């Protein structure tokens, strides 16, 4: 059973529908007890870093998310949900992230490419990962973002992409996973990533 955390900052329905499409049992909730009892936890997110942290605090979910991630059960952050796992973001200076993994969220530099980065990009898989099992060497996935991860620990980086700068597009450390891109919008490749997460 996968708990999808509802904190008013997500494309919750599309994530839930994608999980149900692959046959996974999933439900949307902000109930702390249900989140901590679930087999796996997913933190989605679209929007601004500071607003999202404020909502997590408002709903009393900040410590719940940390407990779920540090508790050993499979935990996946998607898009903004991945960014929140880190220490801070240039989007909202002074606002602390969840600090579940070390790293910073930085603005994509102006190199003449359109910002936000919106569309399909190939991934360079950085290491053998459970999340990307069964995928081709350079899978294409769908991105929508203006800020990107610079991970604090190279060993945490599961995949990169290039968009005027090297973007750490996915992370994996123990039970904690994150994708800057949207698996639920990434066709069969994204569904395989969600299958891999559901099968953990």
Question: What's the gap between Cα 195 and its chain centre?
Answer: 15
Assess contact for 93 and 105: CB atoms under 8 A: no
Residue from 33, 67, 79, 179 carrying the catalytic annotation: 79
Residue from 117, 145, 168, 182 carrying the catalytic annotation: 182
- Reported as type and span, the H/E element at residue 101 is none
Q: Could you give the residue ranges of the DSSP H alpha helices within 59-151? A: 62-70, 80-83
Q: Please enumerate in sequence order all residues whose Cβ is within 8 A of that of 191, keeping only pairs 6 or more positions apart, or say none.
A: 18, 21, 22, 183
Q: Please enumerate in sequence order all residues whose Cβ is within 8 A of that of 20, keeping only pairs 6 or more positions apart, or say none.
A: 26
Entry pTM: 0.96
Per residue of the chain (200 residues), give pLDDT as tens: 999 999 998 778 899 999 999 999 999 999 999 999 999 999 999 899 999 999 999 999 999 999 999 999 999 999 999 999 999 999 999 999 999 999 999 999 999 999 999 999 999 998 789 999 999 989 999 999 999 999 999 999 999 999 999 999 999 999 999 999 999 999 999 999 999 999 99
* CA–CA distance, 190 with 29 (Å, rounded to integer): 23
160 is catalytic: no
Give the residue extent of every domain in the chain: 2-198
Q: What is the pLDDT of residues 151-185, one digit of tens each?
A: 999 999 999 999 999 999 999 999 999 999 999 99
* CA–CA distance, 8 with 55 (Å, rounded to integer): 7
Sheet holding 103-107, edge to edge: 88-89, 103-107, 147-151
Residue from 54, 117, 184, 188 carrying the catalytic annotation: 184
Class for the domain spanning 2-198: alpha beta
Query: The tokens of 56 are what?
Result: 């997590």
């Amino acid at each position: 059973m996968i708990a999808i955390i509802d904190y008013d900052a997500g494309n919750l329905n599309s994530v839930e529908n994608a999980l149900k499409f692959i046959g996974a049992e999933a439900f949307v909730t902000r109930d702390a007890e249900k989140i901590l009892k679930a087999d796996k936890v997913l933190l989605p997110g679209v929007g601004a870093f500071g607003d999202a942290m404020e909502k997590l605090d408002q709903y009393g979910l900040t410590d719940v998310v940390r407990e779920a991630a540090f508790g050993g059960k499979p935990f996946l952050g998607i898009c903004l949900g991945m960014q929140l796992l880190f220490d801070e973001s240039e989007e909202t200076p002074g606002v602390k992230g969840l600090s579940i993994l070390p790293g910073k969220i930085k603005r994509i530099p102006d190199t003449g490419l359109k910002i936000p980065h919106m569309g399909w990009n190939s991934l360079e898989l950085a290491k053998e990962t459970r999340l990307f099992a069964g995928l081709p060497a350079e899978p294409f996935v769908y991105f929508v973002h203006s800020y990107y991860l610079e991970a604090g620990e190279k060993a945490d980086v599961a995949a990169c992409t290039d968009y005027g700068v090297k973007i750490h597009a996915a992370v994996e450390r123990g039970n904690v996973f994150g994708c800057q891109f949207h698996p639920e919008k990434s066709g069969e490749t994204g569904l395989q990533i969600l299958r891999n997460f559901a099968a953990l």
